[in-house]
Each structure stands twice: as structure tokens, then as C-alpha cells.
């Protein structure tokens, strides 16, 4: 059993999609599949259920995932302990909106590949709270919609994320290539958790109003991506989320982009408006390289790019 096989399996378990997992690991999809199959043969159990449209963990896969993550964590700590014995590692405190949104996690993986000596502490907080923690020095860098530029905080647009709706596989939207924004007028709309994504919620509401209607919003709250997907599966609502949300991986659900207009949600890096440290500059440079490689700032052809005034004024 090889460490890379464990890493590939953990990545696939997080993505539940061979293409995305292979992209994260910078290998071709066939190589990822072969390594996971070799792991299954060595273990003598099936870790994954595979179908044309879905990948899911078997009970054995769920149990193995816990142990595999612990092994990889131990290896990472062992490497860092050895490095720290020579010189203390740079420490960065990084804000993330929610683990379900993959922009910052992808950036941090890029950073760790280039700078394995960095010690990164992830702080889960909504953008308003990230602004507060940036201002008082509790956070080094964050991510969110820079709709209102705050004194002392710099921002740089890093991703134009297609906005869409998550629906059950048998919903009327599931068979469409894209969903017109005006079609949401007849649906009960689930937004994000207000404490975590108030800017995204406001963005969606403003989009609906610009299309000529006030959305009917589901009044309950959800505290996890699984709970949101459960409501969608029960046909109690449709969930408006960017393409980067891992909620769209849930079996039985389909994500469809919005159209008329095609809309992108703007994610920006946020940091204190002063000369950034060399280590913080390395994080920003890693994010730029990743954005260029993955085409994060290349909108879909014909799209209407919805960018905030604050984002228009963003500088590196």
C-alpha cells in the first residue's frame, strides 16, 4: 500500500468525482482510477460504488476514509516536526467561508505544494467576520465577495464562479442545459446559511430583483450541505449555489447553471492593506497561478458578468 494511493482515495472521497479528483492531484483520470482499483484489490474490499453519473463510498470506504486521513495527517505532522527541528515554520491564519466551497481549499493545497514548510490554520467565518478579524490582526488572509471595500483591507478578484441551482434529479429543471433566472420566480428558493454567506444571499436576491421579481425564500435554516441537499431531494425547495460548492456532488441531485443572464459570483482574496509579508505574498502568488491554470477568471462565452463595484476597484 502506497501513500499516494491513500491520498488519491481521500481526494476522491472528498470530491466524489473522478475528473475533479484527478485535477486536484494533477494526474490523468485513468491513472487515478487504476491506483484506487489497486488499493481495493490489496485490501480485498470495494471502497467505492461507481455508476455512470455518481461515485459514492461503500460502508468499507467510509470506515477506511477515517483511518486513511489519520495516516496522512500523521505523515504530514512527522514531516513538519522534522522541519521545525531545524527552523520554525511560517504560520498563517486563513479565513474560509465553509468547507463546502472549494476555492480557498484549492488555493491552500497549491500553497502547501509550493511551501510545505508553511503552517496554516483555517478559520471558518463569514465574510463580515473575516473583515473584522483581518482588521484586528487575528486573520492574515480571507476570501469572499468584496461588495463593500473596508478601510484597511485590500482585495483582489480571484474567481468568477458560475451561479446555478441544485435540484432533484427528477425536477423539471434537471433536464435543461441551463435555467433562466426568471424561472426561479415559481420556485421556493433555499439560500445559504445567513451567518456564513450573507453576501451570496444578497447577491442572489439582487439578481432575482433585476430579473423583475422578488424571490420566495425558504424560511428554515440549514447548518450543513447535507441538510441542504436533503431539502432539495424532498422537493421542498431548489438551492441556489455557485458551481464551486461541493453540495452539488450529492447523489440524486443535479446542478444546472443559471442563464438569461449567465451569472458569475465574484470571489476575492482579502488581506490587510499594508505591505504584505513575504509569506502572505507567496499565498497570493499561489492563488494567481492556480486561477490562471484553472481559468477561474475566464467567464463562459456570452456571459453577463455580475461584478460588484467593490470588485471593480480591486487591486493586486
Q: pLDDT, tens digit, for every residue of 58-110? A: 888 888 988 888 898 888 778 767 766 665 667 889 998 877 788 998 999 88
Least confident of 188-202, 214-228, 298-312: 298-312
Q: pLDDT tens, 107-137? A: 998 898 888 888 888 888 888 889 888 988 8
For position 249, what pLDDT does the model report?
Answer: 66
pLDDT for 290 beyond 80: yes
Q: pLDDT tens, 141-151? A: 999 988 766 77
For position 229, what pLDDT does the model report?
Answer: 81
The residue range of the domain holding 40 is 3-86
261-277: average pLDDT: 87
- Asked if residues 144 and 130 have their Cβ atoms less than 8 Å apart, the reply is yes
The burial of 150, by beta-carbon neighbours within 10 Å (0-12 exposed, 13-18 middle, 19 or more buried), is given as middle
Each as own residue / partner, the long-range contacts of residues 70-73 (CB below 8 Å, 24 or more positions apart, any chain) are 71/3, 71/6, 72/3, 72/6, 72/7, 72/10
Q: Are residues 68 and 13 in the same domain?
A: yes
For position 248, what pLDDT does the model report?
Answer: 59
Interacting residues of 121 by C-beta distance below 8 A, sequence separation 6+: 91, 92, 93, 94
Q: Are residues 41 and 177 in the same domain?
A: no
Instruction: Assign residue 54 the CATH number of its domain.
Output: 1.10.10.10
Of all residues in the chain, the percent with pLDDT exceeding 70 is 88
Q: Are residues 132 and 231 in the same domain?
A: yes
Q: Are residues 58 and 94 in the same domain?
A: no
The separation between CA 217 and the C-alpha centre of its own chain, rounded to angstroms, equals 23
Q: Are residues 158 and 48 in the same domain?
A: no
For position 300, what pLDDT does the model report?
Answer: 53
Instruction: Assign residue 226 the CATH number of its domain.
Output: 3.40.190.290
Least confident of 66-70, 239-243, 307-311: 307-311
Least confident of 119-133, 185-199, 214-228: 214-228
Q: Are residues 251 and 127 in the same domain?
A: yes
The last residue of one of the domains, among 67, 86, 105, is 86
User: When comparing pLDDT for 276 and 218, which is higher?
Assistant: 218
| Helix residue ranges, H only, the chain | 3-15, 18-25, 29-43, 59-86, 103-114, 127-135, 198-210, 225-233, 278-294, 309-312
Give the pLDDT band of residue 183 (cuts 50, 70, 90): very high
pTM for the full predicted model: 0.67
Quote the mean pLDDT of the chain: 84
Interacting residues of 53 by C-beta distance below 8 A, sequence separation 6+: none
Q: Are residues 140 and 261 in the same domain?
A: yes
The last residue of one of the domains, among 46, 65, 86, is 86
Overall number of domains in the chain: 2
Q: Are residues 49 and 94 in the same domain?
A: no
Q: Are residues 46 and 153 in the same domain?
A: no
For position 149, what pLDDT does the model report?
Answer: 66
Q: Are residues 127 and 180 in the same domain?
A: yes
pLDDT for 316 beyond 80: no
Q: Are residues 110 and 182 in the same domain?
A: yes
For position 147, what pLDDT does the model report?
Answer: 77
The burial of 242, by beta-carbon neighbours within 10 Å (0-12 exposed, 13-18 middle, 19 or more buried), is given as buried
The last residue of one of the domains, among 22, 52, 86, is 86
Q: How many CB atoms lie within 10 A of CB 136?
A: 10
For position 198, what pLDDT does the model report?
Answer: 86
Q: Are residues 78 and 145 in the same domain?
A: no
Of all residues in the chain, the percent with pLDDT exceeding 90 is 35
Amino acid at each position: 500500500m502506497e501513500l499516494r494511493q491513500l491520498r488519491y482515495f481521500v481526494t476522491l472521497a472528498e470530491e466524489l468525482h473522478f475528473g475533479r479528483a484527478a485535477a486536484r492531484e494533477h494526474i490523468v483520470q485513468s491513472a487515478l482510477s487504476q491506483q484506487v482499483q489497486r488499493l481495493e484489490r490489496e485490501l480485498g474490499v470495494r471502497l467505492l460504488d461507481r455508476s455512470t453519473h455518481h461515485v459514492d463510498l461503500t460502508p468499507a470506504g467510509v470506515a477506511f476514509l477515517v483511518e486513511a486521513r489519520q495516516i496522512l495527517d500523521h505523515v504530514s505532522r512527522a514531516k513538519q516536526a522534522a522541519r521545525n527541528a531545524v527552523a520554525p515554520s511560517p504560520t498563517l491564519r486563513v479565513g474560509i467561508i465553509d468547507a463546502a466551497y472549494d476555492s480557498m481549499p484549492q488555493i491552500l493545497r497549491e500553497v502547501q505544494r509550493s511551501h510545505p514548510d508553511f503552517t496554516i490554520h483555517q478559520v471558518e467565518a463569514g465574510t463580515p467576520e473575516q473583515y473584522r478579524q483581518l482588521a484586528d490582526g487575528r486573520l492574515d488572509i480571507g476570501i469572499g465577495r468584496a461588495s463593500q471595500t473596508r478601510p484597511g483591507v485590500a482585495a483582489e478578484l480571484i474567481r468568477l464562479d458560475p451561479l446555478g441551482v441544485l435540484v432533484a434529479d427528477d425536477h423539471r429543471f434537471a433536464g435543461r442545459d441551463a435555467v433562466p433566472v426568471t424561472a426561479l420566480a415559481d420556485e421556493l428558493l433555499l439560500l445559504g446559511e445567513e451567518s456564513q454567506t450573507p453576501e451570496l444571499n444578497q447577491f442572489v436576491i439582487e439578481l432575482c430583483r433585476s430579473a423583475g421579481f422578488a424571490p420566495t425564500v425558504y424560511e428554515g435554516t440549514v447548518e450543513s450541505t447535507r441538510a441542504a441537499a436533503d431539502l432539495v431531494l424532498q422537493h421542498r425547495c431548489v438551492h441556489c449555489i455557485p458551481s464551486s460548492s461541493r453540495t452539488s456532488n450529492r447523489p440524486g441531485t443535479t446542478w444546472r447553471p443559471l442563464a438569461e443572464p449567465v451569472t458569475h459570483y465574484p470571489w476575492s482574496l482579502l488581506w490587510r492593506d499594508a505591505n504584505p509579508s513575504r509569506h502572505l505574498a507567496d499565498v497570493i502568488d499561489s492563488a494567481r497561478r492556480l486561477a490562471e491554470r484553472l481559468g477561474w477568471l475566464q467567464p463562459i462565452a456570452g456571459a453577463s458578468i455580475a461584478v460588484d463595484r467593490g470588485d471593480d476597484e480591486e487591486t493586486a
